[in-house]
Amino acid sequence: MPYLSAHGHHGDHHTSHFSGGTTYWDSTYGSTTEGTIGGQAHGGNNSMYRGGEYYHGGLNAESVILSYLKEHAATGAMHDSDERFPPPLCRPGTREAVIYRVLDWYGYQKRPGKPIMWVYAPARYGKTAVAGTVSAKLEEKSTELNFNLIGATFFFWRTAPDRNSPARFIITLTYQLFVSIPELAPHIDSVIAQDPMILYKALEVQLMKLIIGPFKALGDTEHMPNRLIIIDGLDECINSDQESRVEKRYAEDRERVQIRVLDLIHTLASHSFPLSFLILSRPEAWIKQHMESRTLKDLVEFVDLYKLGDNMHDVEKLVRGELSRLGVNDEDLVMRLVGHAGGHMLYASTVIDRWPVRLAWTRSRFLSCDGREVSRC
């Protein structure tokens, strides 16, 4: 018997959302179900079909599918995850030029001319804080509008096993899109019901089946609000599962896997779906070359965080505010720290945040350190 959604009929029977089983609805005895998702058995007296929805243990089928996605997603990679709490944010009054450049480019009512924005800068320039602040501002706006402006987020991190590899990338995006765009839910549900093993297939297959297919099933999406997908730290995706101890092989793996993620984004952005993509990373040579390639460059808005805005002014504002909060009013200290930071927000905030209790000792120590040695001062 072919698998149908819980809303479909096949003769006098209603098919379940579980592979390997069918739900038979009986008006007297309720339903009897035998089925599995990913090898987990579901069935027995807790299953029933009511009001056009299939329920198991008090949960409708979409809730079960969502739980199944969650089990395989990198939930710590989401912008509001507990793993990242409190998330890095820009200090008030800093990085305003780039934040508003991003918000001006992204439009939930009118889609931007180019669906991808790449914000790039060297290490310690606060790219993750920019991504977090944009997320926070869109969350606030979402509350006002009563719908989700953020479609999905993924914050790569090289030391987190489920965030330094693309293995859970598509599943994590799918989980969030299932929630943020309710119209997609039944179509994603149907795909997983027919083939629960989709979560173990190639990323390119997952993308086509779990995201592109459900969007196409919606038909005309011209009037749907535009959602933003934020991908931070692409350069932190190092494919740890295949990491080699040989430096050259490791570099090749890292380059290959980061380009693979870009190709996945490119494939999705090539369709006329109501999605925009904000990517933040270091300007690694292979990332830059791929972004500027003939196939991608017409889809990408390039933003150099180092050149946009006044980095030295932002650092000075940060230093003055934080030293004032600590009760320190020392102009020479401010200017010397700003000079050592050289526009690097992370350097300045690390020095100030790390030793506030022993500030007098810090004054005499950090000024002899350069940006590379701050963690050892």
19-28, 140-149, 179-188: which range is least confident on average? Answer: 19-28
Please give the C-alpha separations between residue 219 and each of 7, 197, 213, 244, 289, in angstroms, as whole numbers: 19, 26, 10, 45, 35
**From start to end of the chain, where are the E strands?**
23-26, 30-37, 40-43, 47-50, 53-56, 59-60, 116-120, 150-155, 227-232, 275-281, 300-304
DSSP classification of residue 210: I
- Identity at 43, one-letter amino acid code: G
**Tokens standing for 321?**
């505010």
d(CA 177, CA 229): 9
d(CA 77, CA 84): 8
To the nearest whole number, what is the mean pLDDT of the chain? 79
24-38, 138-152, 188-202: which range is least confident on average? Answer: 24-38
**How large a percentage of the chain has pLDDT more than 70?**
74
Q: State the angle between helix axes of 359-366 and 331-341 in degrees (0 to 180), rounded to the nearest 10.
A: 50
- Cβ atoms of 105 and 301 within 8 Å: the answer is yes
d(CA 95, CA 225): 27
Mean pLDDT, residues 137-145: 94
- Identity at 56, one-letter amino acid code: H
- Cβ atoms of 244 and 250 within 8 Å: the answer is yes
* pLDDT tens-digit series, residues 82-91: 999 999 999 8
- Residue 90 three-state SS: coil
Between 195 and 361, residue with greater pLDDT = 195
**What is the distance of C-alpha 257 from the center of its chain?**
17
* pLDDT tens-digit series, residues 192-241: 999 999 999 999 999 999 999 999 999 999 989 999 999 999 999 997 55
DSSP classification of residue 295: T
At residue 16, the pLDDT reads 35
User: Could you tell me which residues come within 8 angstroms of residue 247 by beta carbon, excluding any fewer than 6 positions away?
Assistant: none
- Cβ atoms of 140 and 324 within 8 Å: the answer is no
Per-residue confidence band for 2, with pLDDT thresholds at 50, 70 and 90: very low
* pLDDT tens-digit series, residues 8-31: 333 333 333 333 333 322 222 233
At residue 133, the pLDDT reads 97
Query: Residue 59 pLDDT > 90, yes or no?
Result: no
- Cβ atoms of 98 and 51 within 8 Å: the answer is no
Per-residue confidence band for 77, with pLDDT thresholds at 50, 70 and 90: very high
At residue 251, the pLDDT reads 63
220-229, 300-309, 321-330: which range is least confident on average? Answer: 321-330
Query: Residue 53 pLDDT > 50, yes or no?
Result: no
At residue 311, the pLDDT reads 73
Mean pLDDT, residues 286-307: 95
Mean pLDDT, residues 298-327: 83
At residue 340, the pLDDT reads 81
At residue 247, the pLDDT reads 57
- Cβ atoms of 13 and 33 within 8 Å: the answer is no
pTM higher than 0.75: no
Using DSSP bridges, classify how beta strands 59-60 and 53-56 pair: parallel, antiparallel or unpaired. Answer: antiparallel
